[in-house]
Amino acid sequence: MKHYFQKIFFSFLLCSFHYLGYGQKHISDSLMGLLKMDKPDTNKLAHLNSLTWRYYTTGVYDSAILFSGQALSLSKQILATTGDQKNKQTTQKREAAAWYMSGVVRYAQGNFPEALQNLLNALRIYNTLNNTAGIATTSNSIGNVYTEQQNYTEALKNYSLALKAYEKAGNKSGIASAYSNIGTILILQGNYTKASESISSALEIRREMNDPVGMTVCYNNLATIYYVQATAAQDKSTKQKNLDKALETYLTALTISEKADDKAANISSYTGIGNIYIAQKQYAKAEEYLFKAKETANGIGAKSKLVEVYSSLVALDSSRGDFKSAYQDHKLYTYYRDSVDNEETRKRTIQNQMTFDFEKKEAVAEAEHKKELESQQALAAEKSRKQYLVITFIIAGLLLVLVFAGFVLRSLRLTRKQKQIIEEKSRETEMQKDIIEEKHKEITDSINYAERIQRSFLASKSLLDENLRDYFVFFQPKDVVSGDFYWAGKLQDGRFALATADSTGHGVPGAIMSILNISSLERAVEAGVSEPSEILNQTRQTIIARLKKDGSPEGGKDGMDCSLVCFDMAALTMSYAAANNPVWVVRSALLTGSIPELIELKADKMPVGKHDRDSQPFSQHEVSLQPNDVVYTFTDGFPDQFGGPRGKKFMYKQLKELLLEISSLPMAEQEKILKEKFTGWKADHEQVDDVLLTGIRISGN
């Protein structure tokens, strides 16, 4: 019975082997095209190996063998003709890959002696190159061959070597594969607890990697453990419980493998599910899944899997009493079993391993002999070298005085020449420094002059003092000139208007844009427009018309974000229109009866400039004010500044909290606190944008 379960489990080993080469399922036309144009070099080797692997992963084994054979022939041709060491190493690496792929294809066909021989050829080259990744993958695959032939000692030895190499290379996928294969051996040895732990470790890694094919292998192996434990159980309840767990786990594996189109894993799951249904006497379902397994195995030519499928079909036919079918299936089982596992193939496998071990020992002995000869040659060379040094030293001593004298004279001439060059370079550097300083002064003077011109466009202190009793303007440009600006003026209906705006850009481009925006605002006011929304509407038309002349197909899309407030201090009312920038009003605690309240006056979500909504008029709003209300207008520079202990933005929420906290203080003191808070928050960080924030306290009549 134990031998029967071992046979069942062999089908899952091929699934593990197949995983190592899992890739695209369709042959690339582009690769075939490249192959036709390739010269006989390492690039062509790479393309041949790619085609071999893709034919293997799609189950077209004959084509895979054809291309691997071409790769091996080409590698021998290149190695026989190349003299370049780098090209030689690249060729050897790709030759090893071709041997490896030839081995896995023959493994899938059930030709274990040739599979082992090819894999040992690959391992020999990888050892020569000290290629850890190649050693790991090849050792893992050699372990699979030994497992198929029930040589568990050699299998475990190779899996352990693979695990160490995978861990050294940091290859998570390989580590998981080695754990899974070690679990396989532990199952076959009857150590189910440790087997489950090893396979669970592999499954955890596959889940972390989101690797569906690897997860399928692990689920199939865990399901096999449950199945074997069920068949060994004496208690009916325990047996049924383990059968249910096995079926559930096989179905989980099948769901994943069908999505991934992993045919080898599908066969393992189909066979396992069929065996469970046989144990549960659900023969129709068992036949359905075993038929799927047989069809899929025939489709990809997997002889070793057909052994397990026909073994299960024999069990099914016998359980149903159909001994004629059982006999026919047993003949097919025997045929496929003998074709992949007989005394001759075992002898060839052992011979291949012995040949490899002998060649390895011979290589070590040859290396030691070569090392001894090199040591003797080195001693002789050292003795000769010392004699040569004595003679050379005597001659050198005689020539040293002459050489030293010549060197001193040459050094004196060279020193004088270098001194002249250094003095010349120093003069050139000084001249360049003077030119740079002069250019820097010209640029600085120009920017400072531009700043004076821009400031003349801003609202003057005398105008603000005349119309606002208690206010502050916190204005801190990122550079000398600014894209942010504040403008004020008297409207024809007697109200006082204040605009707080953020033009596109900052620095010199922003300053030029701000002058255009201010001119457009003043043009609208001079035309007699008195309502904030209409002022912004006409300003937008002026800006768009002006920027159409910039030479671009659609005209410039620059403009500004702006809040425009108009005060009627006598009536204690304020009308406003806002483009992207809101207006905040903080109402005194004396009026709210508890704590200060911040009222946010919303803005239209569009700029004053070209926009996909520039045909929509700006909204007009009227707000009643109370004595001691504080109206705040601002741009986004303060809340967008990075700083603080974690280098984050200041944010609007924190700005609201700060204004609520200081709103009852005198306006001059509020400005001082805001400046200190901004400077402290920014600290060593660069100022990211212009900063503008105004506050106006409403006084009673």
Question: Would you say residue 267 lies in a domain?
Answer: no
Residue 90 lies in a domain: yes
| Distance, first Cα to last Cα, the chain | 105
- Answer yes or no: is 474 within a domain: yes
Same domain, 396 and 467: no
Structure token pair of residue 463: 């105008």
In a domain, 232, yes or no: no
The single-letter DSSP state of residue 579 is E
Same domain as 507, residue 586 = yes
* Residue 246: inside a domain: no
> Would 291 be classed as within a structural domain?
no
Whether 497 and 611 map to the same domain: the answer is: yes
622, 627, 628, 633 alpha-carbon torsion, rounded to 10°: 20
Looking at residue 129, what is its pLDDT?
92
Q: What is the pTM assigned to this prediction?
A: 0.42
How large is the greatest C-alpha to C-alpha distance in the chain, in angstroms? 114
Same domain, 451 and 465: no
Question: What type of residue is 44?
Answer: K
The tokens for 694 are: 């105004």
pLDDT tens per residue, range 515-554: 999 999 999 999 999 999 999 999 999 999 888 876 665 6
One domain for residues 416 and 465: no
Q: Are residues 416 and 439 in the same domain?
A: yes
pLDDT in tens, 125-171: 999 999 999 999 999 999 999 988 889 889 989 999 999 999 998 99
Quote the tokens at residue 541. 């038309």
Nearest of 542, 544, 546, 549 to residue 522 by alpha carbon:
542
Q: Which residue, of 410, 426, 457, is where some domain finishes?
A: 457
570 lies in the same domain as 547: yes
- pLDDT tens for each residue of 346-378: 545 545 554 455 345 444 434 554 565 466 566
Instruction: Specify whether the CB–CB gap between 293 and 309 falls below 8 A.
Output: yes
Question: For tokens 């050094």, what's the residue?
Answer: 411
- The predicted structure's pLDDT at residue 20: 38
From residue 438, how far is each of 237, 480, 507, 622 by CA, in Å? Answer: 97, 19, 21, 55
* Domain interval for residue 74: 38-130
Return the DSSP state at 604: B
- Asked whether residue 447 carries a pLDDT value surpassing 80, the answer given is no
How far, in Å, CA of 452 to CA of 440, rounded? 18
State how far the alpha carbon of 448 is from the alpha carbons of 443, 444, 451, 480, 507, in Å.
9, 6, 5, 7, 12
Q: What pLDDT was estimated at residue 126?
A: 94
Cα-based distances in Å from 557 to 167, 506, 533, 562, 670: 58, 15, 20, 16, 36
d(CA 29, CA 437) in angstroms, rounded, equals 64
Residue 461 amino acid letter = K
More confident residue, 326 or 81: 81
Cα torsion 200, 205, 211, 214: sign: negative
Mean pLDDT of 318-329: 87
Burial pattern 628-643, b for ≥16 Cβ within 10 A else e, equals bbbbbbbbbbbbebbb
Q: Give residue for tokens 């893709």.
A: 54
Instruction: State whether 596 and 447 are in the same domain.
Output: no
For 269, counting Cβ atoms within 10 Å of its Cβ (0-12 exposed, 13-18 middle, 19+ buried), the class is buried
Domain total of the chain: 3
CB atoms inside a 10 Å sphere around CB 101 = 27
The reply to whether 551 and 584 lie within a common domain is yes
pLDDT at 464 over 50: yes
Q: Are residues 380 and 489 in the same domain?
A: no
Residue 673 lies in a domain: yes
Domain's final residue, options 68, 103, 130: 130
- Asked if residue 478 and residue 386 are part of one domain, the reply reads no
Task: At 96, list the tokens.
Answer: 């090893």
List, for residues 417-426, the tens digit of each pLDDT value. 887 888 788 7
Q: Do 16 and 304 contact (CB within 8 A), yes or no? A: no
CATH number reported for the structural domain that contains residue 487 in this entry: 3.60.40.10
Domain closes at, from 404, 426, 457: 457
| ∠ CA 487-490-492, rounded to 5° | 135
CA 575, distance to chain mean position in Å, is 52
581 and 515, same domain (yes or no): yes
Decide: 65 and 46 in contact? Cβ < 8 Å.
no
Give the residue carrying structure tokens 């500044």: 641
Q: What would you report as the CA-atom Rg of the chain, rounded to the nearest whole angstrom?
A: 43
Element (H, E) at 383: helix 343-457
Cβ(21)–Cβ(53) below 8 Å = yes
> What totals of helices (H) and strands (E) does the chain contain, helices first?
23, 13
- Domain of 65: which CATH number? 1.25.40.10
